[in-house]
Amino acid sequence: MAPERRTGVEGVAQDGPGNSTVIGGRYRLQERLGRGGMGTVWRAADELLGRSVAVKELHVDAGGGSAGALREARVVAQIRHPHVVVVHDVVEHEGIPFIVMELVDGGSLADRLAGAGPLAPAEAARLGLALLGALGAAHDRGVLHRDVKPANVLLEAGTGRVVLTDFGIARLAGATTISEAGAFMGSPEYTAPERMQGGEAGPAADLWSLGALLCAAVTGESPFRRDSVGGILHAVVFGEIRPPAGLGPLVPVVRGLLERDPEQRLGAAEAARLLSACAADGGGAEPVPAARHAPAERATRPGGPLPPESGRRRALRAGLVAALIALTVGATVTATSLLGGGDGRAEGRESGATAGAAGPSRSASASSSPPASPSPAPSPSASPAGSVRPAPAGYQVVADPRGFSLAVPAGYRRTTDDQRVFYGSPDGSVRIGIRTSAAPAGGPLGAMRSADRQGAETNPGYRDNKVVPTTHDGLPAALWEFTWDGFTRTEGARHTFDLCWEQDGVLYDVWVSTPVGRTAEARGHFDAALDSFVPGVGGSASP
């Protein structure tokens, strides 16, 4: 059988150092460093000047050809900054375009996170300052990077120099997210919500990406990683955003950079000030292993919801649909990364609250976590006859696939992540959350007290908090109640009620979160949910 035909130089150069492929009459390819969706990067020897270089082979199938290579090289050549990769040359070999760049030995931030684990907050702050400088130099030239992520940040061994690379999808300010060919340009986990519209975006979009990258640098995971592209896009545009536990002094800058409204987003100057303070502070909190930082709804409480602004919701939804269409028609989802490598994963959520009196259950955990995928509320008729409790006027009883039934206000929409279920109001301001898990050794009261101890760390402005033991349907339970400031100026202060109880070895947790000033409404929804809650309806009740 004839060997499979390879494009470009991979068939010749893939065997490592010592091969004979020379391009441009002077660059001898030696070994492949990485491969992305739009290009392959090689280590090469510049035989004319006697130095090592990196050579990026642009994939012909990715489009652009020599014109694309020249455009990318010109974009980067405009930006002179110590933290931006240097471009030396552009050449062609057998019709394939190549960009010759400086070789940064040491791998990418993605490599570092996968191999050595997360950075300490102060170290991440220094990295963030370097990237802010690189982005500032690009923005001063009217260039948006549009793909700031760990795989595109190189860490030079020995010197610690941080280098932003891969401007392959960079555009002048005002360019669109959806390419002329219908491809989604960029990495969804690090893409700002305004770019999800497929419309115009400015320098603030790169700053959003930097905020997501800082989360990944300290926790090992992107705050928007989900199991599907649709889930990622929904999390970016609509899901609640909670800076994960372990960010320590980086929380204010991450919160500011992950503000959905670009006009309210933290600017580069203020971000630099906050990062400088964190870097100068030294050490900071210890880095959090990736496995620990995924939010568990009970004791970890890594963060609270950041609902989108109602005024932008319709435009963002249209953009999300456009992006999903682009992705599902076979377009390239992730742009090339210089050295390849994956990015981490993370999620966040808001915590709940406790009712005031120690008596029969009444409390709710505020807020939910970024809903991964919306779905219509289960039909009330799906519940087996006689197995559900009646709903008050204005509510409907839903039999949830996760294994329980309860009453929620009519018109509320169901969303889920891998651990929790949420029912939210049409405007996203009111959230009812439910989670089941294995009962902990300390029981409901121990779980709530653990969450309360972390309240100030995970909920900005955490106050008016209390945890009390109680019962629910005669079973041991705990109530938690608190107020906090929300994660953005547009969200504002919120109040949460949360109740958890143990039943047949399962810990059930039900919470309600609303804006301050609507606590009476929250208490009504909370009481209705708890009075109507029945386990074992609609699916498996096992944790």
pLDDT number for residue 346: 25
CATH of the domain at 415: 3.40.1000.10
Domain assignment of residue 358, yes or no: no
Whole-angstrom distance, CA of residue 81 vs CA of residue 322: 35
* Averaged pLDDT, 49-65: 76
Contact residues for 163 (Cβ-Cβ < 8 A; gap 6+): 83, 84, 85, 104, 134, 153, 154, 155, 156
Domain assignment of residue 341, yes or no: no
Domain assignment of residue 359, yes or no: no
Based on the domain organization, do 165 and 96 belong to the same domain?
Answer: no
In the chain, what is the greatest distance between 2 CA atoms, to the nearest angstrom? 84
Least confident of 37-41, 147-151, 477-481: 37-41
Domain assignment of residue 96, yes or no: yes
- What is the enclosing helix (H) or strand (E) of 280? helix 268-281
What number of CA atoms fall less than 13 Å from residue 414's CA on the CB side?
20
Whole-angstrom distance, CA of residue 359 vs CA of residue 369: 28
Domain assignment of residue 118, yes or no: yes
pLDDT number for residue 397: 92
Based on the domain organization, do 113 and 249 belong to the same domain?
Answer: yes
Contact residues for 231 (Cβ-Cβ < 8 A; gap 6+): 372, 373
CATH of the domain at 54: 3.30.200.20
Under 8 Å between Cβ of 338 and 165: yes
Structure tokens at 77: 């050549």
Nearest alpha-carbon partner for 448 in 465, 464, 432:
465
- Torsional sign, CA 173, 205, 117, 285: positive
Domain assignment of residue 355, yes or no: no
The phi, psi pair for 89, rounded to 5°, reads -165, 160
* Averaged pLDDT, 464-489: 88
Q: Has residue 415 got a pLDDT over 50?
A: yes
Based on the domain organization, do 263 and 393 belong to the same domain?
Answer: no
| Span 322-362, pLDDT tens digits | 444 444 333 333 322 222 233 222 223 344 333 333 333 33
Least confident of 216-220, 277-281, 420-424, 534-538: 534-538
pLDDT number for residue 307: 36
How far, CA to CA in Å, does 211 sit from each of 170, 247, 287, 338, 368?
18, 11, 17, 21, 21
Domain that holds residue 245: 109-328
pLDDT number for residue 288: 33
Domain count for the chain:
3
Based on the domain organization, do 29 and 133 belong to the same domain?
Answer: no
Q: Which residue has the higher pLDDT, 281 or 181?
A: 281
Whole-angstrom distance, CA of residue 516 vs CA of residue 461: 13
Based on the domain organization, do 76 and 114 belong to the same domain?
Answer: no
Out of 83, 102, 121, pick the residue that ends a domain.
Answer: 102
Out of 87, 102, 117, pick the residue that ends a domain.
Answer: 102
pLDDT number for residue 460: 82
Under 8 Å between Cβ of 220 and 113: yes
Under 8 Å between Cβ of 506 and 543: yes
Whole-angstrom distance, CA of residue 424 vs CA of residue 415: 8
Based on the domain organization, do 50 and 182 belong to the same domain?
Answer: no
Based on the domain organization, do 164 and 293 belong to the same domain?
Answer: yes
Based on the domain organization, do 214 and 239 belong to the same domain?
Answer: yes
| Span 393-413, pLDDT tens digits | 889 999 998 889 999 999 999
Is 336 strand, coil or helix? coil
Out of 49, 77, 102, pick the residue that ends a domain.
Answer: 102
For the entire predicted model, the pTM comes to 0.55
CATH of the domain at 267: 1.10.510.10
What number of CA atoms fall less than 13 Å from residue 281's CA on the CB side?
18
The phi, psi pair for 466, rounded to 5°, reads -160, 150
Based on the domain organization, do 219 and 307 belong to the same domain?
Answer: yes
Q: Has residue 491 got a pLDDT over 60?
A: yes
